[in-house]
Structure 1
Amino acid sequence: MTEKVPGLSAVVITKNEAGNIDRCLSALTFCEEIVIVDSGSSDDTVERARAHGARIVDHPFESYGAQREFARTVGRSPWLLTVDADEVVTPALADEVARVLQSGPRFVAFEVPFKNYFRGEWIRRAGYYPDRHIRLFQKASCRYDASRPVHERLVCDGPVGRLRAHVEHHTFGSVGRFVEKSARYAEHWALAAHARGRRAGTSAIFLHTVGRFFRAYFIQLGFLDGTTGLVMSGLQAAEVFQKYVRLWELSRFGPAKVQSNE
């Protein structure tokens, strides 16, 4: 669509996303405003975003939840569409968002279905589809729980609806990219879990890791996707393994000693 949707701001949080940002922002031209909340990119992410007419806001990164909540506050429109740099709003979703907002919705937020891609291939099983997240919401009626370091939760004061069109999530460009991203998530998760008093030992590491693989590969039918399903199930288990090993390390040695040896 070519017309701007009045009262809608797109908000994108970034750091070193030069490889993704053009594709992401090119799909957001229907929004009245595009805001980039950047946490110190050292590549040309910011310059590329400016070329798309985005407003740039610099803000240091503390956690995913805190960054999302800050980003929520800087959008100027009453409705916000939050998008990650490795995500693409499809034309069908752009049209659906426009129709919903023009009709005066009775919901304060909407869940959007995601199609997750690995090296360009849509992952249909192993827990990756259907995958829904609240991404369109009224700024005044919703807020992020900043206490959650990863997989942040949006708290809404009102009913939440569902959209049908998809966001394309190109999060898995390579195994290396997945592992790098998982390590960041694991670090934030373990630090927050340790601060809440959680501990991990042999049984927790083993049971959570094996359980995650079993669920993804067998219960969520990852085995039907052949080698790709095996890889994606294994990577999920590896992320869980990192989380609990990191928590075990913090539990045994303490944050100060762990950080002093890094």
Structure 2
Amino acid sequence: MKKTTIGVLMIVKNEQVHLENCLESVKDWVDEIVIVDSGSTDNTAEIAAKYTDKFYVHSKWPGFGKQRQIAQSYMQSTWVLALDADEVVTEQLKETILNAVKENNQACCYKINRLSKAFGSYIKHSGWSPDWVLRLYPRTEMQYNDSLVHEQVDVPKGYIINKLEGNLLHFTFDNLSQYTQKTSLYISSWVDQREGRKKASFSQAISHGFFRFIKMYFIQKGFLDGRHGLLLAILSANVVFTRYADLWLRDYVKKNK
């Protein structure tokens, strides 16, 4: 009988700060590690080379979903564990992943709970926790969709989605510079995906941003995260405002050329 195997799928760019910690958390128990880089200019490639020979460069950015599809095309494992470079698998999560892979139910996939740390503090509210993300799935049965941003695994009808015990630690932002760099790509990808298909107005930008703050800080109890919750609610509201404002501006510029 063919051995059931598990491989890590990663897409990266300039991840020298976090990559080693991520790979250290999986190196001893996964069967392959596939990393697709979109044009790093730091030491990402050198760090990756210590853990895998399956490191590929695809500099022409197709969006998050398709980049993950490219990474999966290089994989041979029975099961895919999709990780980001700023994530670390805990010991408890490792054990539940291995048990799921051992069962090898090809009609099943698994969600994992992320516990995120931002600006030096773990965020327990603000809509950040719990944060269940589908990250473990059978390679031949499913893959990520084509979304430019906020990509998800396409789960065929009739397949079972279960949850695994244990946290996936997520080290998001240490400072505002990192936050700005990361969110700028998400903003532009979000707008690119909707340009020409979705209309927006300046008043929508204001209202959507305002209600994002209300939702995160009050409804999702961001105030219980202290000053971090307040900061994240303000930053998130600004991201939403910027997305709709950019969408509105692009349409305005086209009409007034």
The alignment's TM-score, normalised by the length of structure 2, stands at 0.92
Q: Call closer, same or farther: CA 1:87–1:200 in 2, change over 3 Å.
A: same
Identify the residue that residue 7 of structure 2 maps to in structure 1. 9
Give the deviation of 1:107 after TM superposition: 4.4
1:18-33 counterparts in 2 under 5 A? 18-29=16-27, 30-33=29-32
Aligned to 1:47: 46
Decide which moves more: 103-112 or 170-179.
Answer: 103-112
> Hey, what does 1:225 align to over in structure 2?
225
Which residue type is aligned with residue 22 of structure 1?
Answer: E
Instruction: Say if 2:119 and 2:228, in contact at 8 Å, map to a contact too.
Output: no
Q: Compute the displacement of 1:192 (Å).
A: 1.2
| Structure 1 partner of 2:148 | 149
Q: Which runs of 5+ in 2 are unaligned?
A: none
**Shift in Å, 1:92:** 1.2
Distance 1:104 1:76 in 2: 15
1:106-160 CA distance string (max 9 Å, x none): 64210000001013311001100001111000111112211x2110121112111
1:100 deviates by 1.5
Residue 211 of structure 1 deviates from its aligned partner by 0.8
The residue number in structure 2 matching 1:206 is 206
| Aligned mates of 1:104, 1:141 — CA distance in 2 | 12
Measured after TM superposition, the shift of residue 203 of structure 1 is: 2.0
1:179 aligns with: 180
Instruction: Please state whether the residue corresponding to 2:154 is helix, strand or coil.
Output: strand
Q: Output the CA distance in 2 between the equivalents of 1:222 and 1:156.
A: 31
Residues 20-99 of structure 1 mapped to structure 2, 5 A cutoff: 20-29=18-27, 30-60=29-59, 61-99=61-99
Residue in structure 2 matched with residue 167 of structure 1 by the alignment:
168
User: Aligned partners of 2:193, 2:103: CA distance in 1, in Å?
Assistant: 41
Letter matched to residue 191 of structure 1: D
Question: 1:54, 1:159 → 2: CA distance?
Answer: 33
1:168: Cα distance to partner? 0.6
Supply the RMSD in Å over aligned alpha carbons.
1.7
The Cα shift of 1:189 comes to 0.6
Looking at structure 2, the residues matched to 6 and 121 of structure 1 have their Cα atoms a distance apart, in angstroms, of: 38
Residues in 1 aligned to 2:237 and 2:65: alpha-carbon distance in whole angstroms: 23
Amino acid at match of 1:74: Y
- Contact in 2 for aligned 1:10/1:80 (Cα 8 Å): yes
What TM-score do the two structures reach when normalised by structure 1? Answer: 0.91
Corresponding residue of 1:191: 192
Identity of aligned residues (%): 31
In the alignment, residue 10 of structure 2 is paired with which amino acid? V
For the 8 Å contact 2:66–2:148, the answer to whether it is kept is yes
Instruction: Provide the secondary structure at the position in 2 that maps to 1:143.
Output: coil
Contact 2:109 2:138 in 1 (8 A): yes
Query: In structure 2, how many angstroms separate the alpha carbons of the residues matched to 1:203 and 1:12?
Result: 39
Deviates more, 1:124-133 or 1:90-99: 90-99
CA distance in 2 between partners of 1:54 and 1:123 (Å): 35
Q: How many residues align?
A: 250
Deviations 1:191-247 (Å, cap 9, x if unpaired)? Answer: 11114x212112210111001000000000011222111001111111111211111
Partner SS for 2:240: helix
**In structure 2, the residue corresponding to 1:155 is in which secondary structure?**
coil
How far apart, CA to CA, are the structure 1 residues paired with 2:40 and 2:225?
Answer: 36
Q: Secondary structure at the match of 2:5?
A: strand
Matched letter for residue 137 of structure 1 = Y
Partner in structure 2 of residue 110 of structure 1: 110
Q: Name the CA shift for 1:14/1:232 in 2 (closer, same or farther; >3 Å).
A: same
Give the aligned partner of residue 241 of structure 1: 241
Task: Give 1:172 deviation, angstroms.
Answer: 1.7
